[in-house]
Structure 1
Amino acid sequence: MLSRAACSTSRKLAPALGSLSSRQKYTLPDLPYDYGALEPHINAQIMQLHYTKHHAAYVNNLNATEDKYLEALEKGDLSTQIALQPALKFNGGGHINHTIFWTNLSPNGGGEPKGELLEVIKRDFGSFAKFKEKLTTVSAGVQGSGWGWLGFNKEQGRLQIAACPNQDPLQGTTGLIPLLGIDVWEHAYYLQYKNVRPDYLKAIWNVINWDNVTERYMACKQ
């Protein structure tokens, strides 16, 4: 089960990180299924490369950048702290986004959500079909690399759809709490779907883990 921490994206990236010697390093989360478990919709080669190369690179680069940031913080080097902000945002966002993404997928996924989440989707988008069409359209329309998201607007108590470029984290960019993310970087689909992003977006609905999305929603509305 997800805890109340599911309402936030991750621990804070900077500052107030503690000392260089005492801080906790970021680590690659366990993948909750085998690389080939999502086939035929996402093949094993994509999953292995995506997880062990791309996500791992974000984690490694985030740790290295944070080390440099803390060194600059201890030295009072403000210019270096400022210069490192883009790298902290990019690699931190990549780690946050992918950590959510893996749990949003399941070999037992697909179909529609049930219960309260389905009713809220119908309330906020008219129907599940309209929601699915809108999130697919927004994700397909991302220019270059980025993400399509279903998020929760805590102030309004409503679901919203948004897109973020590159690895910008949803909550830090829009204020929405992330419930479901669709990665539309080419590394998420190119080896299988080439440049036909719409085919990938059609396929990914077959492996959406609605139990996970529902748990995120229920935790965040409290």
Structure 2
Amino acid sequence: MMLCRLSLFGRTSLKLVPALGCPSSRQKHTLPDLPYDFGALQPHISAEIMQLHHNKHHAAYVNNLNIAEEKYAEALAKGDVTAQISLQPALKFNGGGHVNHSIFWTNLSPSGGGEPQGELLEAIKCDFGSFEKFKDKLTSMSVAVQGSGWAWLGYNKESKRLQVAACANQDPLQGTTGLIPLLGIDVWEHAYYLQYKNVRPDYLKAIWNVINWQNVSERYQASKK
């Protein structure tokens, strides 16, 4: 399997597909620009965190993903199945890190916060009872992630319902659960430790003030097609 580029709302996302069926699989992945300045989410998320998170952590996933894909292509060309298998964890971890963060940056906005509007809000009320119940459920799930990982709001195309789920490490939501990712909350310590130390609940309380509900709503509309 290889990671192939897809376009979602003008931004790059990735999908695992058979290597021979992905004409752009040898194209290098790049670090997407933030749609706002590093300090734009202050005081809720500091400029220092955003700079390190984007320029160091996300950049490392992109770099290591490109390295893993190059090695995978070499192993594929040589017919080295053992090497191909051994590279799968690196592809999953770094590819997931790239996918997850590319969504995460667009899920945040300096003009975010509040509640969603329109169909997304109605769907949340239908599937969770109320926006506050949804918010409490996703927050509780985020707090409960053991070690490093993510909590997500996703869309189940089979049931046509919204669901929340948690994923360990950088496991991508869709590849792990089948849910289409709409809103991701990064609970790796590098996402909050410099500002909130080990008090994850304080970070989670703050992040709701910068959620970009317009972006989440756009993802919701696209997921239903």
TM-score bracket for this pair, using the shorter chain length: over 0.9
Q: Which of 4, 27, 31 is residue 28 of structure 1 equivalent to?
A: 31
Give the secondary structure class of the aligned counterpart of 1:92: helix
1:210 counterpart letter in structure 2 = W
Q: In the alignment, which residue of structure 2 is the partner of 1:122?
A: 125
**Aligned with 1:65 (options 65, 68, 93):** 68
One of 91, 115, 127 as aligned partner of 2:94:
91
Query: For the residues of structure 2 that align with 1:142 and 1:75, how far apart are their CA atoms?
Result: 40
2:115 counterpart residue number:
112
RMSD: 1.9
CA distance in 1 between counterparts of 2:20 and 2:166 reads: 29
Alignment correspondent of 1:40: 43
2:214 equivalent in structure 1: 211
Given the alignment of the two structures, is residue 79 of structure 1 paired with residue 91 of structure 2, yes or no?
no
Matched, 1:189 2:205: no
2: CA distance between counterparts of 1:214 and 1:121? 11
Instruction: State the Cα distance separating 1:5 from its structure 2 match.
Output: 4.0
Q: Does 2:57 match 1:54? A: yes
TM-score (norm 1): 0.94
| Structure with more of its chain in strand, by fraction | 2
**Bigger relative contact order (CA 8 A; separation at least 6):** 1
Per-residue displacement from partner, 1:26-72 (whole Å, max 9, x unpaired)?
00011100000000000000000000000000000000010000000
Does structure 2 conserve the Cα–Cα contact (< 8 Å) formed by 1:20 and 1:71? no
Count of residues in Structure 1 that have an aligned counterpart in Structure 2: 218
Q: Secondary structure at the match of 1:37?
A: helix
Query: Residue 19 of structure 1 contacts residue 70 of structure 1 at CA under 8 Å; is this kept in 2?
Result: no
- Counterpart CA distance in 2 for 1:138 and 1:128 is 15
Q: CA separation of 1:21/1:142 partners in 2, compared to 1, >3 Å: closer, same or farther?
A: closer
CA contact (8 A) 1:104 1:213 kept: yes
Counterpart of 2:205 in structure 1: which amino acid? K
1:16 Cα deviation from its structure 2 partner:
1.1
Structure 2 counterpart of 1:202, one-letter code: K
* 1:20 to 1:218, Cα distance in 2 relative to 1, 3 A: closer
TM-score normalised per structure 2: 0.93
1:10-37 deviations in Å (ceiling 9; x for gaps): 3334541679998211000111000000
| Long gaps (5+) in structure 2 | 1-5
The percentage of counterpart residues that share the same residue type is 78
Residue pair 1:147, 1:167 contacting (<8 A) in 2 also:
yes
Q: Deviations over 1:56-94 (max 9, x none)?
A: 000000000100000000000000000000000000000
Q: 1:96 aligns to what SS in structure 2?
A: helix
Contact kept, 8 Å, 2:7 with 2:13, in 1: the verdict is no
Aligned 1:107-186 pairs, distance under 5 A: 107-186=110-189
Q: Is the 8 A contact 1:38 1:207 kept in 2?
A: yes
Gaps of 5+ in 1: none
Q: C-alpha separation between the residues in 1 aligned to 2:208 and 2:187?
A: 13
Between 1:11-20 and 1:68-77, the stretch displaced more is 11-20
How many angstroms apart in 2 are the aligned matches of 1:21 and 1:116? 35
